[in-house]
Structure 1
Amino acid sequence: MIRNILCYAEESARRFPGKTAFADEETACTYDELIKSARAVGTRLGMEVTPGKPVPVLMEKGVKAIYAFMGIVSAGCFYILLDPKLPTERLRSVLDTLQAEVLLTDPAYDKPRERLEFDGKVIMMEEALQTQEDTTYLDNVRKQSRDVDPLYAIFTSGSTGVPKGVVVSHRSVIDFIEEFTRLFNITEHDVIGNQAPFDFDVSVKDIYSTLKCGATMQIIPKKFFSFPTKLLDYLVEREVTTLIWAVSALCIISTLKGFDYKVPQKIRKVIFSGEVMPVKHLNIWKKYLPEAMYVNVYGPTEITCNCTYHIIDRGYEPGENLPIGKPFPNEKVFLLDEEDREVTKPGEKGEICVSGTALSLGYYNNPEQTDRAFVQNPLNQSYLEPIYRTGDLAYYGEDGNLYFASRKDFQIKHMGHRIELGEIETALETVEGLGRSLCMYDEAKGKILAFYEGDLEKKQIVRAIGARLPGFMIPNVFVKVEEFPLTKNGKIDRKKLEEAYESGNLTGLS
């Protein structure tokens, strides 16, 4: 039985010692080099910190960050990636929550002690990598490890303005990755093209699918997602076969007609998540890469990456909803209404709730938020069964699949009607000549706002969606944007869009 994620790396190093495990734009490492580097870093950390403690890593994503992660795990600790580009105040907030004793970094990222007011020990990666391995220490740490030990923490936005650190165990990742790689046939022959930042849980699928299968992971520079031709060149040159990307990243290529320049013919798997995939963009990908497997996966960070999946098995037309599918094996996914009754009837909406091994360990140093989100299953009064309430609404289709409806907080009350903004967005997707679109609600003015890419005028859009939506659901304000702002995780940045709208910095108001 696998108790520790390092077993994946060690087994792949035994099978493929000289094979490239991870590569970025400038450097690469073999599986053998990865293990040696991890054990050196683990030994250095063992001089400063006891197992079970958090170790933040202030570093850009790249091969060296992977060394840091595996070194931290070798020392029996858990890692947290701190993106140097994040605002100083946010980084300080994360460090205040962690109360870490040690921080790993490189000289390139300023002096963390002064910038971040960090009082602990700062260790430079070059020093750690040169440490002589202490085999006895590392072996003792491993003997004492348990599968419920924390592996990493990822900080997400908090409703109080303070980031929440989701802590995930070895057991949860092992449970998920075993099924993820099996279901989507990821093997040692795959080359995974990493898009996600390392402080975003999509990267967990990239990293641990690679280690589990003995595959190769090509770390794509973030800057290439602003230049589709460079991005496509990179995918072709690095012979990428598998994309596990945010929806917006895929839409960059299809929006800017990247396939007219070059098609990365070796891609055989396209797995997407994070937002609803617009069917018109999915169809562009399928047109140019018809032999690839396309998979819609769903799930928040708190349940270890994803809890449902759907392999696209037929053609879809704009305006149709893609299923989020069915639960991954060993995960229980169900819907609860506002009275905590289970929803099973097709078409009726309920909140998505999840139980099983996939559940995270809660929020680090935040018992109040943990107790609010991770609760006893109200359907089970007989024994302890914690569930995570996602805050997302879904419904069952007649085909038995789950379909995402919207966030609970995207449900509005407008002109006496309860309205799902996601339903309006689905209607907008059917409009010929319209790019991506997004809806918000201006509660103070009682107006539905529709933001969109494209050259159409308000009258044309209203006419097109009027056949699908009742009058009270037609947006009151249409805002044309040249390009949607994106978060660092590749999702549409709703907050920035809202701020730009309120300040009048968006063009095309009507």
Structure 2
Amino acid sequence: MVRNILDYLESSEKLVPDQIAFADEKVSCTYRELKQTAKAIGTYLADRVSPGSPVPVFMEKGVSAICAFMGAVYAGCFYVMLDPKLPAERLRKILYTLDADVVITEENYKKQYQAPAFGAKQIDIGEAAQSAVNEEKLAEIRQRSQDTDPLYTMFTSGSTGVPKGVVVSHRSVIDFIEEFTELFGIEPKDVIGNQAPFDFDVSVKDIYSTLRTGATMQIIPKKLFSFPVKLLDYLEERQVTTLIWAVSALCIITTLKGFEYKVPRQIRKVIFSGEVMPVRHLNEWRSYLPDALYVNVYGPTEITCNCTYYIVDREFELGEQIPIGQAFPNEKVFLLDEQNHLVEETGKKGELCVAGTALSLGYYRNPEQTKKVFVQNPLNDRYMETIYRTGDLAYYGEDGQLYFATRKDFQIKHMGHRIELGEIEAAMERVESLKRSVCLYEERKQKIVAFYAGEAEKRQLHRILGEVLPSFMIPNVFVKVLEFPVTKNGKIDRKRLMELYEEGQYERG
């Protein structure tokens, strides 16, 4: 039975010791090299921190960061990726929450880390990687480990202004990855093209699908996502077969007509998440790579990557919505209405809730926020059953599949009506000349603002939306944008979009 993520690494190392495990733009490492380096770092850490401690990793994503992650795990600790581009104040808040004794970094970032008073002692990864391995000590740590021990913590935005650290155990990742790799046929011959930052949970699927199957992961430089031609060259050069990407990353290629330059025919799997996938972009991907497997996966960080999936098995028309599908095996996904009653009727919306082994351990040193969303299942008065309330609204379609509706906090009250902005965005998908669209609400002026990229005119938008929406749901303002601002995780940055609008950066359409 697999009870520690290192079992994946060690099993693959025995099977394919000389296969490239991870590679970035500059360096690569085999499974044998990764295990040896991780054990050295683990020994170094074990002499300085206790098992169960957080080990922040302050460096760019790359092969060195992977070695640091695995080293932390060999020491019986859990890792926390810290992007050097984080604002100093956010970094300070995260490190204050972690109260860590050490931080792993590398030469390039030593001075940057020292600049603010961050507290934890620096460990140079180069020095740690040269340590002599103490097999006896590492074996003793491993013997005492449990599958419910933390593996990593990822910080998400907090409504109070303090980032929330989601703590995820070995067992949750193992439970998810076993099903994920089996369902989507990830094999040793696959080459996974990593797009997601390492402090974003999409990368968990990349990293641990690789380790579980003995595949290879190519870490794609972030800068290439601004240049589709170079990105497509990179995918072909590195023979990438599997993309587990944010929707916006896939849309970059189609928006900028990348496939007119080159189609990387070796791509066999395209798994997307993070936002609603626009049908026109999915259709374009499928037209150029018709034999690839396409999967829509859904789920927040708090439930370990994803809780539902939908394998695209048919053509979708503009204006249709792509399902988020069905629950992953060993996860329970259900809908609750505002009175905590189970929602099963077709078309009726409810808050999507999740139960099962994949649930995280809650928020690090934040019991108040943990108690708000990790709660007892109101449908179960017989024994303890923790569920996570996602804050997302969903419904069942006529086909029995789950469909994402909107965030609960994307609901607005406008002209006396409760409106879900996601419904307006879905209606805008029907407009053929639109590439992407986002709707926001300007509270001060009480106006629905529709942002869009494409060649549509305001009259055309009004006419098409009027065919499917009541008049009170038609946006008051249409704003044309050349490109949408995105977060570091690849999602459309709605907050920044509204800031740019209020600053007068966009012309009204």
Same fold by TM (over 0.5)?
A: yes
The aligned amino acid for 1:217 is M
Could you tell me which residue of structure 2 aligns to residue 454 of structure 1?
A: 454
Residue 460 of structure 1: how far off its partner (Å): 1.9
Of 423-432 and 351-360, the range deviating more from structure 2 = 423-432
Q: Is the aligned partner of 1:196 residue 2:196?
A: yes
Could you tell me which residue of structure 2 aligns to residue 232 of structure 1?
A: 232
Could you tell me which residue of structure 2 aligns to residue 69 of structure 1?
A: 69
Could you tell me which residue of structure 1 aligns to residue 424 of structure 2?
A: 424
State whether residues 104 and 123 of structure 1, in contact with CA within 8 Å, keep that contact through their aligned partners in structure 2: yes
Residue 400 of structure 1: how far off its partner (Å): 0.9
Give the whole-Å Cα distance in 1 for the aligned partners of 2:8 and 2:440.
Answer: 44
1:140-219 to structure 2, matched below 5 A, reads 140-219=140-219
Residue 114 of structure 1: how far off its partner (Å): 2.8
Could you tell me which residue of structure 1 aligns to residue 130 of structure 2?
A: 130
Q: Which structure 1 residue ranges, 5 or more long, are not aligned? A: none
State whether residues 43 and 134 of structure 1, in contact with CA within 8 Å, keep that contact through their aligned partners in structure 2: yes
Residue 112 of structure 1: how far off its partner (Å): 5.2
* Corresponding residue SS for 1:295: strand
Could you tell me which residue of structure 1 aligns to residue 363 of structure 2?
A: 363
Q: Is the aligned partner of 1:497 residue 2:473?
A: no
How many residues are treated as equivalent by the alignment? 509
Give the whole-Å Cα distance in 2 for the aligned partners of 1:116 and 1:41.
Answer: 26
Q: Is the aligned partner of 1:45 residue 2:45?
A: yes
State whether residues 334 and 353 of structure 1, in contact with CA within 8 Å, keep that contact through their aligned partners in structure 2: yes
Could you tell me which residue of structure 1 aligns to residue 508 of structure 2?
A: 509
The aligned amino acid for 2:5 is I
TM (normalized to structure 1)? 0.99
Could you tell me which residue of structure 1 aligns to residue 375 of structure 2?
A: 375
* Corresponding residue SS for 2:7: helix
> What are the superposed Cα offsets for residues 36-66 of structure 1, whole Å, 9 maximum, x if unpaired?
0000000000111000000000010000000
Give the whole-Å Cα distance in 1 for the aligned partners of 2:115 and 2:362.
Answer: 29
Give the whole-Å Cα distance in 1 for the aligned partners of 2:454 and 2:431.
Answer: 10
State whether residues 88 and 115 of structure 1, in contact with CA within 8 Å, keep that contact through their aligned partners in structure 2: no
Could you tell me which residue of structure 2 aligns to residue 55 of structure 1?
A: 55
Residue 86 of structure 1: how far off its partner (Å): 1.0
Could you tell me which residue of structure 2 aligns to residue 36 of structure 1?
A: 36
State whether residues 318 and 432 of structure 2, in contact with CA within 8 Å, keep that contact through their aligned partners in structure 1: no
State whether residues 5 and 170 of structure 1, in contact with CA within 8 Å, keep that contact through their aligned partners in structure 2: yes
Deviant stretches of 4+, over 6 Å: none
Give the whole-Å Cα distance in 2 for the aligned partners of 1:114 and 1:197.
Answer: 23
> What are the superposed Cα offsets for residues 106-145 of structure 1, whole Å, 9 maximum, x if unpaired?
1201425532312222100000010000111000000000
Could you tell me which residue of structure 2 aligns to residue 468 of structure 1?
A: 468
* Corresponding residue SS for 1:353: strand
Could you tell me which residue of structure 2 aligns to residue 327 of structure 1?
A: 327
Of 467-476 and 30-39, the range deviating more from structure 2 = 467-476
Give the whole-Å Cα distance in 2 for the aligned partners of 1:403 and 1:52.
Answer: 39
RMSD: 0.8
Give the whole-Å Cα distance in 1 for the aligned partners of 2:279 and 2:146.
Answer: 43
The aligned amino acid for 2:395 is Y
Q: Is the aligned partner of 1:317 residue 2:317?
A: yes
1:379-390 to structure 2, matched below 5 A, reads 379-390=379-390
* Corresponding residue SS for 2:48: coil
Give the whole-Å Cα distance in 2 for the aligned partners of 1:258 and 1:100.
Answer: 44
Percent of counterpart pairs with the same letter?
Answer: 69
Give the whole-Å Cα distance in 1 for the aligned partners of 2:316 and 2:109.
Answer: 46
Give the whole-Å Cα distance in 1 for the aligned partners of 2:38 and 2:488.
Answer: 27
State whether residues 448 and 476 of structure 1, in contact with CA within 8 Å, keep that contact through their aligned partners in structure 2: yes
* Corresponding residue SS for 1:111: helix
Residue 398 of structure 1: how far off its partner (Å): 1.4
The aligned amino acid for 2:49 is V
The aligned amino acid for 1:356 is G
Could you tell me which residue of structure 1 aligns to residue 89 of structure 2?
A: 89
Residue 504 of structure 1: how far off its partner (Å): 0.7
Residue 464 of structure 1: how far off its partner (Å): 2.1
State whether residues 152 and 169 of structure 1, in contact with CA within 8 Å, keep that contact through their aligned partners in structure 2: yes
Residue 454 of structure 1: how far off its partner (Å): 1.6
Residue 274 of structure 1: how far off its partner (Å): 0.2
Give the whole-Å Cα distance in 2 for the aligned partners of 1:24 and 1:466.
Answer: 49
State whether residues 91 and 116 of structure 1, in contact with CA within 8 Å, keep that contact through their aligned partners in structure 2: no
Could you tell me which residue of structure 2 aligns to residue 22 of structure 1?
A: 22
* Corresponding residue SS for 2:152: strand
* Corresponding residue SS for 1:126: helix
Residue 191 of structure 1: how far off its partner (Å): 0.4
Residue 192 of structure 1: how far off its partner (Å): 0.2
* Corresponding residue SS for 2:432: coil
Q: Which structure 2 residue ranges, 5 or more long, are not aligned? A: none
